Amino acid sequence: SAVISQKPSRDICQRGTSLTIQCQVDSQVTMMFWYRQQPGQSLTLIATANQGSEATYESGFVIDKFPISRPNLTFSTLTVSNMSPEDSSIYLCSVEKARQETQYFGPGTRLLVL
Amino acid sequence: GNSVTQMEGPVTLSEEAFLTINCTYTATGYPSLFWYVQYPGEGLQLLLKATKADDKGSNKGFEATYRKETTSFHLEKGSVQVSDSAVYFCALSVGNEKLTFGTGTRLTIIP
């Protein structure tokens, strides 16, 4: 498995502002992902964070709204830009190690936009 | 495409009752199957998994068997506890592709 931490664990933000969420893993991983879980809903994949190149976004998500960085094999950030109340969600990062075909999740960042 | 259909909740049981949460799937290719659990206020934890037909995943008294013939991966536990109260997600992945999740089932166990 992997030990994954996220910062911040929760935040309350004003509309129009941006928040950057950090995801740190205790070991090198091949794949890192960012998910959104809206209140009472299941998880939706936002993007795959690629080390050294641009993230791969799922349908309905764009780089201008959710810029992602992955400077190395243990760290990634997701920024939620120009926030609106509809962005209030839990944001989770997950990781997958080579040949394990299993994703492990961080504790999540609970975001409330007023 | 890939999809997961999960028993809708919420489910409320008494302590020591038998639990079944149904999960069926459709997949292009040969999927790996997972159950994740989300305890109140926490992130997702991997509960169990199975990677090929007839495999049984098990953990913490929970079990699920990969049934290719019925495309199912039902979660079972013989005697639930109050501490099992959580939201349970069935999921699949094919190769290194993304996880596809079911809608989640909220389970509440009353003493």
Q: What are phi and psi of B73, to 5 degrees?
A: -155, 65
Beta-sheet strands, E only, within A1-114? 4-7, 10-13, 19-25, 31-37, 43-49, 56-57, 68-72, 75-80, 89-96, 103-105, 109-113
pLDDT > 70 fraction of chain B, expressed in percent and rounded: 99
> Among candidates B28, B29, B9, B5, which has minimal Cα distance to B19?
B9
pLDDT for B60 beyond 90: yes
Facing B42 at nearest CB: one of A58, A102, A107? A107
pLDDT > 70 fraction of chain A, expressed in percent and rounded: 99
Alpha helices, H only, chain B: none
Whether B61 contacts B78, CB under 8 Å: yes
State which residue of chain A sits closest to B102, comparing Cα positions.
A42
DSSP H or E segment with residue A53: none
Half-sphere exposure of B55 (CA within 13 A, CB side): 12
Band of pLDDT at residue B96, cut at 50, 70 and 90: low
| Length of chain B counted residue by residue | 111
CA of B71, closest CA in chain A: separation in Å? 19
Q: Do A92 and B43 touch (CB under 8 A)?
A: yes
Q: Do B43 and A108 touch (CB under 8 A)?
A: yes
